[in-house]
Amino acid sequence: MYKVIGTTKSRAFRVMWTLQEMNEPYEQIAANPRSEEALHYNALGKIPALVDGNDVLTDSVAIMTYLADKHGKLTSPAGTVARAKQDAMTFWLIDELDAILWAAAKHSFVLPEHLRVPAAKDALKFEFEKSTAHLSERLEGPFLMGDTITLPDILACHCLNWAVGAKFPRVDDKLFEYAKSLRSRPAFQATAAA
């Protein structure tokens, strides 16, 4: 059985949600970032990690992509144009949502206190508003890549939820409804309940 290392309130959520959508059983080890347990699986102390047999994989999106490819779910097949477009969306989300939220987290509680620049958060919120407006425009179907849920939806919804927790500006109604419908999925609910 897969083992997911990381707390539910961390990026480990994305990995567990992916596994839930695929109906793959897993065990969660709710290690905190930089804890001894996290360091046991990743020398950087970062979470999530995934244990698959004798292998330990790191980075949430790398793990999600591995799982999707391995089980042939939540993704277009590698080597197709559809996959290139899906990956472009994934990388855009990492650059324009995840990285912005992560930078804000650094200036809130991750960096040593004397290096935090609270004013940076205004610029990051401005960037986030631009990014989410763009995402809303690009959203044409019920899901980012059309009629079926793929990895970018999990990533986007996780970032939108994170943004609410980080008190970032509210997104428009279209994106709000999109994230709400993703949160109502049984796989999301099961992940959140753990």
Give me the residues that bind ligand GSH (CB under 6 A), please: 10-11, 33-34, 45-48, 59-61
Nearest to ligand GSH of 3, 146 (CB atom): 3
Nearest to ligand GSH of 47, 104 (CB atom): 47
- The CB-of-26 to ligand GSH minimum distance in angstroms stands at 16
Nearest to ligand GSH of 94, 176 (CB atom): 94
Q: How many CA atoms lie within 13 A of 80 on its CB side?
A: 8
- For tokens 């990285």, name the residue: 99
Dihedral of alpha carbons 175, 178, 181, 183, sign: negative
- The CB-of-20 to ligand GSH minimum distance in angstroms stands at 18
- The CB-of-174 to ligand GSH minimum distance in angstroms stands at 26
Pairwise CA distance, residues 34 & 43, whole Å:
9
Pairwise CA distance, residues 123 & 149, whole Å:
31
In one-letter notation, the amino acid at residue 71 is: H
- The CB-of-32 to ligand GSH minimum distance in angstroms stands at 8
